[in-house]
Amino acid sequence: MKVRWVDSTMRFRMRSPEVADWMATGQCAGQIQIGPLAQDRWAYRLELNPGPDWKITTESGCWNVAIPQLAVQHWADSETLTLEYLTPWGTRLILEKDLPRRHLRPGNGDTDSTADQKTSRAMP
């Protein structure tokens, strides 16, 4: 799962196998160490809530997001790409399906400008 946090928006981008696993187990989780100390760990867990409400709590350094199971089921089974929720304090949560990319080759009629882009990474 890819997690992106920009300003007050948190986006969880999931591939099909991750969505299927989440639906089967009822939860998915991840963590990242953002500094050298134990308390510098940020963790999250997405859960299916059998009720109708989104519930967000923090516990022992983990951000827990319980999402209504019916909404997730509809999102997972449909052509809908995103499921969004705006918290009472103004943070927007977005679940997004990460669909496979079609490989584009220059010269075959594709006009997507990302066909020739390369990824650049900072070196240590």
Mean pLDDT of 34-40: 87
Mean pLDDT of 58-87: 93
* pLDDT of amino acid 123: 44
What's the order of all strands across the beta sheet hosting 27-33? 27-33, 41-49, 62-68, 55-59
Q: What is the pTM of this model?
A: 0.74
Which residue segments constitute the domains of the chain, with CATH numbers given?
2-98 (3.30.1360)
Rounded Cα gap, residues 98 and 112, in angstroms: 18
The Cα-based distances of 42 to 27, 82, 86, 92, 112 in angstroms read 17, 24, 21, 18, 36
Handedness of CA 50, 56, 57, 58 (dihedral sign): positive
